[in-house]
Amino acid sequence: MAKNHTVTLKELSKKLNISVSTVSRALNDHPDISPITVDRVKRLANELNYVPNLFAKGFRTKKTNILGVIVPNVSHIYTTTILKGILDEAELSGYRVIISESKNDETKQVEMLQTMIQFGADGILMSLAKKTSSVNKILSMLQRVPLVLFDKVSDKIPCTQIVIDEEEAAYNAVQHLIGLGKERIAILKETENSYNSEKRFAGYKRALEANNIPLKEKLILSTEDISLINGKRLTNVLLSMKKRPDAIFAITDNAAIGAIQTLNKFSIKIPEEIAVVGFSNSASATIITPSLTTVDQPGERLGRTATTYLIKEIQNPIEDLVTKTIEIKTNLVVRASTFKG
Amino acid sequence: MAKNHTVTLKELSKKLNISVSTVSRALNDHPDISPITVDRVKRLANELNYVPNLFAKGFRTKKTNILGVIVPNVSHIYTTTILKGILDEAELSGYRVIISESKNDETKQVEMLQTMIQFGADGILMSLAKKTSSVNKILSMLQRVPLVLFDKVSDKIPCTQIVIDEEEAAYNAVQHLIGLGKERIAILKETENSYNSEKRFAGYKRALEANNIPLKEKLILSTEDISLINGKRLTNVLLSMKKRPDAIFAITDNAAIGAIQTLNKFSIKIPEEIAVVGFSNSASATIITPSLTTVDQPGERLGRTATTYLIKEIQNPIEDLVTKTIEIKTNLVVRASTFKG
DNA sequence: AACGTTCCCGCAAACGTTTGCATAGTTTTT
DNA sequence: AAAAACTATGCAAACGTTTGCGGGAACGTT
């Protein structure tokens, strides 16, 4: 404890009277080394509490065992569950994780990507910033280091991408509403044609179609920022219509909660008059009254599989880059906002 | 783009016909180098897009420019705001951040600490796992690398610690209740004498004392895990008393929300009959009806200051380790659960 | 004119590890 | 018994950077 010096290969070699290279190879289970030597080396290394200098190692081998993660916002609740999955899975395979935020800023996103590569990350996990339009720079990075996209992805970037099966999730949600006898189902979506919004909208349309319910333009409301306040605002719009909807499918829990709050304000019965379903299964979904039926997204699992794929690609690099999408199934959590028990 | 080779100091030196060491010094603004040379070097470096090999650098200087962060749980909402502060501040000073979870497990916590040090983190930011009892190993790590504790801290560990001024926050919260004319104020706290719980309890007691309100043992309820469900349970206990409290101070938003839910269930008027205040200003505080008065903890600021202190200590190491606590002020957000507007 | 300073710069070692190549000793093949 | 092949090990270079030391040139001081 007192002598604060670090044990190196050279030291081990001296103590054992063998060369540094033999020690190195023994520690790395190189086939050339005899079992007895391997044993002696490992035993001493253990005893002396040898820890390899990862910098010398990384410097030499150009491998760092670091995974870079770039997300728009670390404090987004769904993101954190994904992060948890990433951290866990990475740890299992002996990787460290460095995390940074793009803050939904495209230039910052590229910057982070660059510094992470410069820093020597063995691979990158990224969830794209909103409105990521110029993918050129990202593409040029791609040939330097394996990249796996998750959650917010883009088919303009040829790499493996892990997403929630948004379309089916939305389909199931709407199907659930239809099963309750609802027919005038409004949707609260995003104006920006983000990947997620588009997919959920597609699921909505497919469910209606499958039940021969005509699409009504008036019931399709869009907003720039699909937040709680805008959920309120759009619900007010819906309530001002002569023929009100009998259900609302909000693309986001926040918007759904906004909807519930304004419905409550006007004492409209949920779900009898208007049922509501959200998307995310956020913590607030059980806080609001009535509690919110919503799509549960297995963020942790998403994080895990994204990491698994990335590590696989790091360990045996693939030659031809091609978009490969893995979809993770969700399930609908039914609560009071659609079900009177 | 095509030639995928990395520019090194040697290359620059060759192109400029000067030695490698001069190039290195020029890039690092060493005073020995003439301004003209510095300019030439920097110009070329820029042109050739030179990026230093951080591994060679870290290997040589033993500095990695990495900060390690260890928290019990990344997906805890308050934690994420702290993380945001850390990430931002670290980036400003050119540090990368690696994050991992202790999952409130003491052995895992030590493990993570070790690997981070082994990995070469220049400093560590840590929020302690619950019931961290044996601090010996942590202490022995301490002399290897600067450590700053935040949020969950312990005075058994001599280092700088950044916390919310819990005591004052609680004092203000209770003072607020007293200001409304409340006198029988119950507190929902933790059984485990965690730092946070103790401090908040102390603030509670001080406020009562300052107003000459005698402490009533019956109104002090403790639970192992201060969660939403337990908030409900304890509130039921309170309601079963012959002389009910006229206010509840819950040490946690979750517990406060549980309290509100059971009060609502029994149609007890909030705040007229019983007022409620929580602690954290979580997202759910505005979702519940009535909205919850709660203590806002400036997590981002806490993260920033913790990082600032750590970096300061990295850059000029302090000799004598001593516990030094920095407290960050909070403010009370008054909402409907204590105020009838 | 001799000396002391100051200013720039280069040489070379060092950090801890990996790895191609050489080599000594041993076993197998011819 | 000589040649070939294999086994286990060592030598030394290499990775890219920083830095102590030394020294030549230019300048200023007597």
DSSP state at residue A233: H
The dihedral formed by the CA atoms of B244, B245, B250 and B256, expressed in degrees to the nearest 10: 60
Encode A105-128: b = buried (16+ Cβ within 10 Å), e = exposed.
Answer: bbebbbbbbebbbebbbbbbbbbb
Q: Which three-class secondary structure state does DSSP give residue A241? A: coil
Residue A174 · residue A201 · CB < 8 Å? no
What does the block give as tokens for B337?
Answer: 């659960």
- The pLDDT tens digits for A129-188 are 988 888 888 887 777 789 999 999 998 999 999 999 999 999 999 999 999 999 999 999
pLDDT for residue B218 is more than 90: yes
Whether the CB of A266 is below 8 Å from some CB of chain B: the reply is no
Q: DSSP labels for A43-83?
A: HHHHHHT----HHHHHHHHS---EEEEEES-TTSHHHHHHH
Given a cut of 80, whether residue A43 has pLDDT beyond it is: yes
Residue A213 in tokens: 């319910």
Neighbours of B275 (CB within 10 A): 27
Rounded CA-CA distance B330/B151 in Å is 13
Give residue B130's pLDDT.
Answer: 86
Query: So what's the pLDDT on residue B5?
Result: 65
Query: What is the phi/psi pair of residue B215, to 5°?
Result: -75, 130
Region at A151 (left for phi over 0; alpha for psi -120 to 50; beta for the rest): left
Provide the token pair at A100.
């940074």
Q: Average pLDDT of B34-39?
A: 92
Give the Cα separation of A124 and A114 in Å (integer). 11
pLDDT digits (tens, 9 = 90+) for B292-312: 999 999 999 999 999 999 999
Candidate from A1, A59, A97 with C-beta closest to B56: A59
Which amino acid, residue A28?
Answer: N
Establish if A77 touches chain B: CB-CB under 8 angstroms: yes
- A319: number of Cβ within 10 Å: 4
Instruction: Please report which helix (H) or strand (E) contains residue B331, including its range.
Output: strand B331-333
The neighbouring-strand residues paired with A295 are: A279, A332
Element (H, E) at B325: strand B324-328
Three-class DSSP category at B19: coil
Mean pLDDT of B254-281: 97
Q: Which of A127, A192, A177, A187 lies closest to A153 in space, CA to CA?
A: A127
Residue A168 half-sphere exposure toward CB, CA atoms < 13 A: 10
Query: To the nearest whole number, what is the mean pLDDT of chain B?
Result: 91
Burial class, B317, CB count within 10 angstroms (exposed 0-12 / middle 13-18 / buried 19+)? exposed
C-alpha closest to that of B135 among B154, B118, B161 = B154
Residue A337: pLDDT over 90: yes
Tokens representing residue B101 in the block = 């979870």
Neighbours of A38 (CB within 10 A): 17
Separation in Å: D13 C1' and A44 CA? 27
Distance (Å) from CA B145 to C1' D15? 27
Q: Which of B74, B97, B118 is facing A83, going by the closest CB pair? A: B74
User: How far is the C-alpha of A332 from the C-alpha of A169, rounded, in Å?
Assistant: 8
Average pLDDT, chain A: 91
First to last CA, chain A: 65
* Residue in chain A nearest B81 by alpha carbon: A75
What is the spatial distance between Cα A276 and Cα A297, in angstroms, rounded to a whole number?
18
pLDDT at residue B140 above 80? no
Q: Which domains does chain A have, with CATH numbers?
A: 9-52 (no CATH), 66-164+300-328 (3.40.50.2300), 166-297 (3.40.50.2300)
Instruction: Check: CB of residue B158 under 8 Å from CB of residue B142.
Output: yes
Cβ neighbour number for residue B62 with a 10 Å cutoff: 12
Tally of CB atoms within 10 A around A327: 16
* CB pair distance less than 8 Å for B87 and A96: no
Instruction: Provide Rg for chain A, Cα atoms.
Output: 26
- Dihedral, A57, A63, A65, A69 alpha carbons, nearest 10: 140
Structure tokens, A176? 């659930």
Pick from A298, A310, A293: which is nearest to A256 by CA?
A: A293
Å: B22 CA to D21 C1': 15
In this model, does residue B211 exceed pLDDT 50?
A: yes
Alpha-carbon span A176 to A207, nearest angstrom: 10
The torsion angles phi and psi of A244, rounded to 5 degrees, stand at -75, 155
Position B299 scores a pLDDT of 95
pLDDT band at residue B128 using 50, 70 and 90 as cut-offs: very high
Q: Is A92 on the interface with B (CB under 8 A)?
A: no
Q: Note the pLDDT tens digit of each residue in B251-261.
A: 999 999 999 99
Q: Name which residue leads in pLDDT, B64 or B3.
A: B64
> What's residue A132's pLDDT?
81
Q: Binning pLDDT at 50, 70 and 90, where does residue A2 land?
A: very low
- Is there a contact between B283 and A283 if contact means CB atoms under 8 Å apart? yes
Q: How far is A216 from chain B (nearest CA, A)?
A: 31
Q: What is the pLDDT of residue A127?
A: 96
> Which of the four pLDDT bands, split at 50, 70 and 90, describes residue A5?
low
Residue given tokens 């008059």 in the structure block: A273
Would you call A71 an interface residue with chain B, using a CB distance cutoff of 8 Å?
no
The answer to whether A274 touches A245, Cβ cutoff 8 Å, is yes
d(CA A103, CA A89): 25
- Is A84 close to B74, i.e. CB distance below 8 A? yes
How do beta strands A247-250 and A275-280 pair? Answer: parallel
Tokens, residue A65: 């065992």
Q: Residue A175 and residue A295: Cα distance in Å, rounded?
A: 12
Which of B1, B66, B120 minimises the CB distance to A140? B1
